[in-house]
Chain A
Amino acid sequence: AQKVTQAQTEISVVEKEDVTLDCVYETRDTTYYLFWYKQPPSGELVFLIRRNSFDEQNEISGRYSWNFQKSTSSFNFTITASQVVDSAVYFCALSENTGNQFYFGTGTSLTVIP
């Protein structure tokens, strides 16, 4: 079974629109970590955020915000006032308590149209 599900394969928005990327995860561990990475066309993974399972506080960093809801096993990512430079593939990932492996979602390809 897929541990991390990103149901949105591709999203296109017009510049300055807000966009939310969904991530649903599955784990039996009580301690785990959730991540979001950005992968621009160059291929390099850019770390955006890490959240541990005990911290459900939402986080905001500039135009980025994250909504972590354990009740629905979701860790959604919102970009406000999107820009062309936000165009990339975004991956959500889960690391369980053993920490040995990252489980990546299938990624959401975001295109911001000028």
Chain B
Amino acid sequence: GAVVSQHPSRVICKSGTSVKIECRSLDFQATTMFWYRQFPKKSLMLMATSNEGSKATYEQGVEKDKFLINHASLTLSTLTVTSAHPEDSSFYICSARGSEPYEQYFGPGTRLTVT
């Protein structure tokens, strides 16, 4: 199946700093990528839909100025958590949509800890 990578897999940052998470589709082009957030023992919550070359669409309640998404190429989307705070600590998962609309390939996730 298609492969999606995320980098870094784990990151610890200090409160007030920004951190960037990359999501790459390794063997296919993805015009659409998705960013999810998962709190401990909870389900995945869709944060935003990222379309190549256009602005991301954010779900209700997600601060677009805090979670900056850039989808500059067909194989790369980035999520930048700006001015991170401890409550931003979470597991972030991206996915990339394949050639069929129902296909989504998930990355391995990035565990962010803000101290």
8 Å CB interface, B29-71 against A: 32, 34, 38, 41-44, 46, 49
Residue of A nearest to B104 (CB): A102
| A43-B109, A43-B111 known; A107 vs B43 contact (CB < 8 Å) | yes
When the two chains form the complex, which single residue of A91, A95, A100, A109 contacts B44, counting CB atoms closer than 8 Å? A91
| A98-B101, A100-B49, A107-B43 known; A43 vs B108 contact (CB < 8 Å) | yes
Which B residues have a C-beta under 8 Å from some C-beta of A? 1, 32, 34, 38, 41-44, 46, 49, 91, 93, 95, 97, 100-102, 104, 106, 108-109, 111
Interface secondary structure of A, over-half rule: loop
**Assembly CA distance A109 to B46 (angstroms):** 20
**Assembly CA distance A47 to B3 (angstroms):** 12
Assess whether A78 is interfacial by the CB under 8 Å rule. Answer: no
